[in-house]
Amino acid sequence: MPKQVSRRLQELRKQVEERPYEPLEALNLLKQTATAKFPESAEAHIRLGIDPKYTDQQLRTTVTLPKGTGQEIRVAVLAKGEKVAEAQDAGADLVGSDDLIAEIQKGMLDFDKLIATPDMMPQVAKLGRLLGPKGLMPSPKGGTVTTDLTQAIAEFKAGKLEFRADRTGIVHVMFGKASFSAEDLLVNLSALQECIDRNRPSGAKGRYWRTVYISATMGPAIEVDISALRDLKVAEVA
- pLDDT for res 167: 93
Q: Which amino acid makes up residue 226?
A: I
Smallest CA-to-CA distance from 92 within 161, 149, 148 is with 149
- pLDDT for res 3: 66
pLDDT tens digit sequence for 63-118? 999 999 988 889 999 999 999 999 999 999 999 999 999 999 999 999 999 999 99
First-to-last alpha carbon distance for the chain, in angstroms, is 45
What's the residue count for the chain?
Answer: 238
75-157 has the same fold as 18-69+160-237: no
Angle at 50 between CA 49 and CA 55, to 5 degrees: 165
Which CATH number is 75-157 given? 3.40.50.790
Instruction: Please state, in angstroms and as integers, the Cα–Cα distance from residue 156 to each residue in 82, 116, 181, 223, following that order.
Output: 21, 13, 22, 29
pLDDT tens digit sequence for 141-200? 888 999 999 999 999 998 888 899 999 999 999 999 999 999 999 999 999 999 999 999
- pLDDT for res 8: 84
Q: How much is the average pLDDT of 199-228? A: 95
Q: If you average pLDDT over every residue of the chain, what do you get?
A: 91
Phi-psi group of 140: left, alpha or beta (phi > 0 → left; psi -120 to 50 → alpha; rest → beta): alpha
Q: Does domain 18-69+160-237 have CATH number 3.50.50.60?
A: no
162 alpha carbon, distance to own chain's centre: 5
Residues 6+ apart with CB under 8 A from 178: 30, 31, 34, 39, 40, 41, 42, 216, 217, 219
Name the DSSP class of 132.
G
Domain edges within the chain: 18-69+160-237, 75-157
